[in-house]
Amino acid sequence: MQKGKASADELISLILQGIEDVKGHDIVLLDLREIENTVCDYFIICNGTSNTQVNAIVGSIQKTVSKAIKDKPWHIEGQDNSEWVLMDYVNVVVHVFQKQIREFYDIEGLWGDAKFTEIESSVNQ
């Protein structure tokens, strides 16, 4: 499997679609390209309401990306308890949280220099 055959924009779009398909909440895209020494170009952060929904979001992202561009995450971490699942697509890293865990770790606060884009969601908060 080749990495990088899909553009970052295409990958981001597919990931966002996967999140939307199972009603993920509070979706934010962080553009890290202007920050030195980052491990990737983008973070996508969202949350679910339970470990079941977090797992559903992760599964939906994998299925959507795999079906469209035959790509899969280089690494996934955190599926044991599904409070915070990290999906590493190399240049795009997805963080899927349960709400209280997201608030505790405050990834957005840690990456305050990044360019933030809140993604309008069809989910009523």
Segment 72-123, tens digit of pLDDT? 999 999 999 999 999 999 999 999 999 999 999 999 999 999 999 999 876 5
Q: What are the structure tokens assigned to 78, written together?
A: 């955190």
**115 close to 34: Cβ distance less than 8 angstroms:** yes
- The CA R_g of the chain, rounded to the nearest whole Å, is 13
CATH number attached to the domain at 8-118: 3.30.460.10
Residues in a beta bridge with 11: none
Q: What are the structure tokens assigned to 22, written together?
A: 């199972």
3-state secondary structure of 120: coil
- Which amino acid, one-letter code, is at 39? V
In angstroms, the CA 73 to CA 65 distance is: 9
Percentage of the chain beyond pLDDT 90 is 86
Looking only at Cα atoms, what is the longest distance across the chain? 38
Segment 26-82, tens digit of pLDDT? 999 999 999 998 989 999 999 999 999 999 999 999 999 999 999 999 999 999 999
Helical (H) or strand (E) element with 69 = helix 51-69
In angstroms, the CA 117 to CA 3 distance is: 25
Q: What residue ranges do the domains of the chain occupy? A: 8-118
Reported pTM: 0.91
